[in-house]
Amino acid sequence: MGSYVPVTEKDREEMLQRIGIDSMDDLFSMIPDDVKIKGGLDLPGGMSELQVRRAMEKMAAKNKVFPVMFRGAGAYRHFIPSIVKSVISNETFLTAYTPYQAEISQGVLQSIFEYQTMICELTGMDVSNASVYDGATAAAEAVAMCRDRKKKKAFVSMTAHPQVVDTVKTYCFGNEMELVLIPEKDGVTDLDFLKENLDKETACVYIQHPNYYGNLEDASAVGELAHECKAKFIMGVNPISLGLLKTPREYGADVAVGDGQPLGLPLAFGGPYLGFMSCTSEMMRKLPGRIVGETKDRDGRTGYVLTLQAREQHIRREKASSNICSNQALCALAVGVYLSAMGAEGLRDAACQCTSKAHYLAEGLSRIGFTVENKGEFFHEFVTSSDRSSSEVLKVLEESDILGGYPLDESRILWCCTEMNTKEEMDTVVRILEGGAESC
Amino acid sequence: MLIFEKSKKGRHLSLLPPLDVPAVELTGGNQREQELHLPEVSENELSRHYSELAKKTHGVNDGFYPLGSCTMKYNPKINDEMAGLSGFTEVHPLQPLHTVQGCLEVLQTAERYLSEITGMDRMTFQPAAGAHGEFTGLLLMKAYHHARNEQNRTKIIVPDSAHGTNPASAAMAGYSVVSIPSREDGCVDLEKLREAVGEDTAGLMLTNPNTVGLFDKNILEITRIVHEAGGLCYYDGANLNAVMGTVRPGDMGFDVIHLNLHKTFSTPHGGGGPGSGAVGCKNLLAEFLPVDLTEGKGAYYFVDPEHSIGRVKSFYGNFLVVVRALTYLLTLGKEGIPEASTHAVLNANYMMACLKDKYTMAYDEICMHEFVMSLKDLKKDTGVSALDISKGLLDNGIHPPTMYFPLIVEEALMVEPTETETKETLDEAVEVFLQLYETAHKDAESLHLAPLHTPITRLDEVEAARHPKLRYEII
């Protein structure tokens, strides 16, 4: 069996003697016998490191790693610079806990302060927290932070990622906010529905931009409608797109959230990722989660500390703004390194490459009979429809080790391109599908 | 110095090749106008910057970390290496099922191990952290009561010794919180519990061993009282490291639990996340679990429980954290799991025995995996507080215990050594604690000033909260 217990037989005897008991069993005498496990756990025996390695490698080998990928839908394959992996595998960053003891946690605290600054820069907002679990929970927390005594209704656009909508829905089952789903019209949020239905009980309106289908929303118009009835405007954004696109602030948002995964985190079968949350200074004290602030030490030196804790659960208990007490610190560290490595120019370049390649593939696919559904501008995702069955199209690509777009249904596919996709790969997709059309 | 202050226009890394297709620019008023300021640095500077920050941080790898309730055990290196296998890291969460069978096998195997350890029937890995698990578990309870048309069950009973997340999670789940006072020994007061339960009781949230490090002997009676009133019992798994292989929450009468894989199952805390707050439940709640449960033998697939509460997070949770935890579970196995727990308890009792002649223990009896000291007397005698002793520990390379928790103990320090520390490490730490005790009596002032040998001294937290400066202003 494997073990990480360093106490030897001799240590154990000395320790029991010091405690003043005879056996290890005496340590558990306060547990009534009738609840104790009889006969041990029904589990396989432990293993040596080499055996464990073989077992885990065997499982990993059962997964297929696609060398070429055109799938996004909430998780994106981007280039991750080596420096990111190097920094986050540092043993100290990896094994530290939440920086409660500021004097020996300045490294983690400063990295979060830098991360907060970068998120503010990206989104154009005043304040960022230290991150939450992922983009979906960030959206749900953002909706919850807009609630007040008289405003308990949340409008969420159905053009947002379905898993984000589902997560918000679950949180609303908890906090008993009323959720109103805004229908989709021509691939974007239905503004007429908003005009007719927003009222003074509305706490917030949430849209995703670019939305699930890759489309750009008329975000400013949504923001204006929300503000007319004194509701908050929340935008879910793709952080890479902010290299090119207007910031949520420029569109008039009060809160900006999103998933930070594209900024240096691997696909990893869905996690760990990170949710970023930022807002206007007006909403600062409603922002949930950890926040790091700058201050001075006794000798006047600049230092960083967890702050505004009066909002938090360990002080406020049931009156806290949220129960959240951790962040995704190591992921926030990765984001900080990624954005520093890319710089503003690099991020703009990545965003531009994403857009350009998505348009190149869309054009190629439309040449061979797929209809591109997106009517207006799109970022790095787009939807095609075709009379060819989606599963058949994707199967043909899979045979060539290509993970095609995400099938929305049997006729529509959601494609994604990033800077990782080369012209040659996209030409190959078009060529394979062109051939497939002939054989159909 | 901040990375922004090291920035100089014109410096950059060469990361991406030139664009190989025609450039497309977005128009239509969607172009960013606000200037974007990100650091412009070389890779060398960037690398050194973070090496410097790492030096100003204390991890489990840097020294003893007896932070009560947080189970800062050693994080085995093979766990990280396995989580870094490209077969796990390079897999898209929405790949066809037949291409991700290994991932589903990880989830199902981890579920099997952890269900056996906890005595639960089903488990979800979607929740990302302990508090997220609590929220999820409470929603299962809510869905259960609603399905039985008992919407009137709106109250969650939480002992006053509970973790702060318990009442906060209950509030997020739309419950009102009934706080019941604990007995002097931190255990549940059965009379108070009987008074508190009723037709409006949705359930009870409890940690056992409790937050003072004692196992509540009356546990079967406690869960019986709640069940008889029609409520459900929620187990906060923060303290599971004491009892794995000895007793199971399921056998104590709990219906739903969360685990902190980042505590009990050795995955690194990463400076405050990512963790994993897996939620397990008995069959009576399984139909309400979040979507995407793993099913199948040999060929695995996802199912959505019939009356699922829905989704609490994207995809399947912090998957790579589950990979690490499974690596640990396979390593320890049937015998290693109880061995870890019994030695966590041994280490805690040994340290307590070595300290109790000087320091006052909140409860002077055999403890579980952690113990609580009260520095009330020391403070009265010398003016040296739990905070001062903690700061004194910093100067000695030891991460302090959890301070001022549980709230029911004055000047509390909660010490959890974990099973992965040697007797020598414990002896050295005891020596430091005893020296600080002496210093408190001889030179209290020096402890009020501590720490002196850390990168910074005590920070002005009041100023930080009064005039929040939460980002670097780029000039």
Query: What does the pLDDT look like over B322-381, one tens digit per residue?
Result: 999 999 999 999 999 999 999 999 999 999 999 999 999 999 999 999 999 999 999 999
Q: If DSSP codes are grouped into helix, strand and coil, which group holds residue B228?
A: helix
Residue B118 burial by Cβ neighbours in a 10 Å radius (0-12, 13-18, 19+): buried
Please answer yes or no on whether A108 and B62 come within 8 Å at the CB atom.
no
Q: Rounded to an integer, what distance in angstroms lies between the CA atom of residue A149 and that of residue A257? A: 23
Read off φ and ψ for residue A259, nearest 5 degrees: -95, 130
CA A218 to chain centre: 24
CA B472 to chain centre: 30
Please answer yes or no on whether A57 and B451 come within 8 Å at the CB atom.
no
What is the 3-class SS of B203-225, one letter each residue?
EEEECCCCCCCCCCCCHHHHHHH
Instruction: Report the residue of A53, A323, A396 to disrupt the B interface, i.e. the one with the largest count of B CBs within 10 Å.
Output: A323
Residue A189 has pLDDT above 60, yes or no: yes
pLDDT of residue A313: 65
Q: Is the Cβ of B298 closer than 8 Å to some Cβ of chain A?
A: no
Over residues B375-392, the pLDDT tens digits come to 999 999 999 999 999 999
Q: If DSSP codes are grouped into helix, strand and coil, which group holds residue A297?
A: strand
A319 and B179 in contact (C-beta within 8 Å)? no
Q: Rounded to an integer, what distance in angstroms lies between the CA atom of residue B55 and that of residue B71? A: 23
Instruction: Report the residue of B8, B19, B95, B269 to disrupt the A interface, i.e. the one with the largest count of A CBs within 10 Å.
Output: B95
- E-assigned strand segments in A85-147: 127-128
Confidence of residue B185 (pLDDT cuts 50, 70, 90): confident
Strand partners, B250: none
Interface of B with A in 122-141 (CB under 8 A): 128-132, 134-135, 138-139
Of B425, B426, B424, B448, nearest to B436 by C-alpha is: B448
The residues of chain B that CATH labels 3.90.1150.10 are: 340-461
pLDDT of residue A439: 43
Q: Rounded to an integer, what distance in angstroms lies between the CA atom of residue A4 and that of residue B25? A: 56
B190 and B217 in contact (C-beta within 8 Å)? no
The enclosing H or E element of A313 equals helix A313-316
Domains of chain A from N-terminus onward: 68-78+343-439 (3.90.1150.10), 82-337 (3.40.640.10)
Confidence of residue B407 (pLDDT cuts 50, 70, 90): confident
Please answer yes or no on whether A318 and B101 come within 8 Å at the CB atom.
no
Place of tokens 């931009």: A209
A371 and B40 in contact (C-beta within 8 Å)? no
pLDDT of residue A440: 40
The residues of chain B that CATH labels 3.40.640.10 are: 78-331
Q: Which of B24, B273, B345 sits opposite A356 (nearest CB)?
A: B24
pLDDT of residue B164: 82
pLDDT of residue B54: 97
Q: Is the Cβ of B430 closer than 8 Å to some Cβ of chain A?
A: no
pLDDT of residue B128: 97
pLDDT of residue A436: 59
Q: What strands, in cross-sheet order, belong to the sheet with A232-237?
A: A127-128, A275-279, A255-259, A232-237, A202-209, A153-157, A178-182
Q: Rounded to an integer, what distance in angstroms lies between the CA atom of residue B281 and that of residue B258? A: 9
CA B277 to chain centre: 8
Q: Which of A5, A161, A305 sits opposite B339 (nearest CB)?
A: A5
Please give the average per-residue pLDDT across A420-425, as a whole number.
98
Over residues A240-253, the pLDDT tens digits come to 999 999 999 999 99
pLDDT of residue B357: 96
Residue B255 has pLDDT above 60, yes or no: yes
The enclosing H or E element of A131 equals none
Q: What is the dihedral of CA A253, A257, A261, A263, to 10 degrees?
A: 40
B34 and A248 in contact (C-beta within 8 Å)? no
Q: Which of B106, B251, B421 sits opposite A59 (nearest CB)?
A: B106
Neighbours of B62 (CB within 10 A): 17
Average pLDDT, chain B: 96
pLDDT of residue A315: 66
**Closest chain B C-alpha to A411 CA, distance in angstroms:** 17
Q: Is the Cβ of A27 closer than 8 Å to some Cβ of chain B?
A: yes
**Closest chain B C-alpha to A440 CA, distance in angstroms:** 23
Residue type, A310: A
Q: Is the Cβ of A436 closer than 8 Å to some Cβ of chain B?
A: no
Q: Rounded to an integer, what distance in angstroms lies between the CA atom of residue B263 and that of residue B130? A: 10
pLDDT of residue A438: 45
User: Which of the residue ranges A277-286, A362-371, B175-184 would you say has the lowest mean pLDDT?
Assistant: B175-184
A398 and A404 in contact (C-beta within 8 Å)? yes
Q: Is the Cβ of B391 closer than 8 Å to some Cβ of chain A?
A: yes
| CATH number assigned to the domain with residue range B78-331, chosen from the 4 options 3.30.930.10, 2.40.50.140, 3.40.640.10, 3.30.1490.20 | 3.40.640.10
Share of chain B above pLDDT 70, in %: 100
State both tokens at B64: 């003893």
State both tokens at B137: 């578990």
B278 and B259 in contact (C-beta within 8 Å)? yes
Please give the average per-residue pLDDT across B124-151, as a whole number.
97
B282 and B121 in contact (C-beta within 8 Å)? yes
DSSP state of A244: T
Read off φ and ψ for residue A90, nearest 5 degrees: -60, 125
Q: Rounded to an integer, what distance in angstroms lies between the CA atom of residue B388 and that of residue B413? A: 11
User: Which of the residue ranges A46-55, B162-171, B460-469 would you say has the lowest mean pLDDT?
Assistant: B162-171
Instruction: Report the residue of B94, B115, B334, B337 to disrupt the A interface, i.e. the one with the largest count of A CBs within 10 Å.
Output: B94
Over residues A92-103, the pLDDT tens digits come to 999 999 999 999
Q: Is the Cβ of B454 closer than 8 Å to some Cβ of chain A?
A: yes
pLDDT of residue A324: 85
pLDDT of residue A311: 67
CA distances from B130 to A193, B133, B169, B242 (A): 39, 5, 10, 17
B357 and B434 in contact (C-beta within 8 Å)? no
pTM above 0.90, yes or no: yes
Of B78, B103, B98, nearest to B88 by C-alpha is: B103
B340-461 has which CATH code? 3.90.1150.10
Q: Rounded to an integer, what distance in angstroms lies between the CA atom of residue B225 and that of residue A416? A: 55
A273 and A135 in contact (C-beta within 8 Å)? yes
Please answer yes or no on whether A118 and B38 come within 8 Å at the CB atom.
yes
pLDDT of residue B409: 92
Residues with Cβ < 8 Å from B434, sequence gap 6 or more?
Answer: B355, B358
Confidence of residue B150 (pLDDT cuts 50, 70, 90): very high
Instruction: Note if the bond before A210 is cis, omega within 30 degrees.
Output: yes
Confidence of residue B475 (pLDDT cuts 50, 70, 90): confident
- E-assigned strand segments in A280-420: 292-296, 302-306, 371-372, 381-385, 402-403, 406-407, 412-416
Neighbours of A53 (CB within 10 A): 18
Count H helices and E strands in chain A, helices first.
13, 17
pLDDT of residue B27: 80
DSSP state of A255: E
Q: What is the dihedral of CA B281, B284, B287, B289, to 10 degrees?
A: -20
Please answer yes or no on whether B91 and A243 come within 8 Å at the CB atom.
no
Residue A437 has pLDDT above 60, yes or no: no
Residue B474 has pLDDT above 90, yes or no: no
Q: Which of A34, A56, A298 sits opposite B82 (nearest CB)?
A: A56
Helix, strand, coil: what percent of chain B each, to 5?
40, 10, 45
Q: Is the Cβ of A400 closer than 8 Å to some Cβ of chain B?
A: no
Which residue from A minimizes the CA distance to B276?
Answer: A272
B300 and B294 in contact (C-beta within 8 Å)? yes
Q: If DSSP codes are grouped into helix, strand and coil, which group holds residue A390?
A: helix
Q: Rounded to an integer, what distance in angstroms lies between the CA atom of residue A151 and that of residue A286? A: 15
Of B277, B365, B370, nearest to B321 by C-alpha is: B277
- E-assigned strand segments in B160-297: 176-180, 201-206, 232-236, 256-258, 279-281, 293-295
A259 and A73 in contact (C-beta within 8 Å)? no
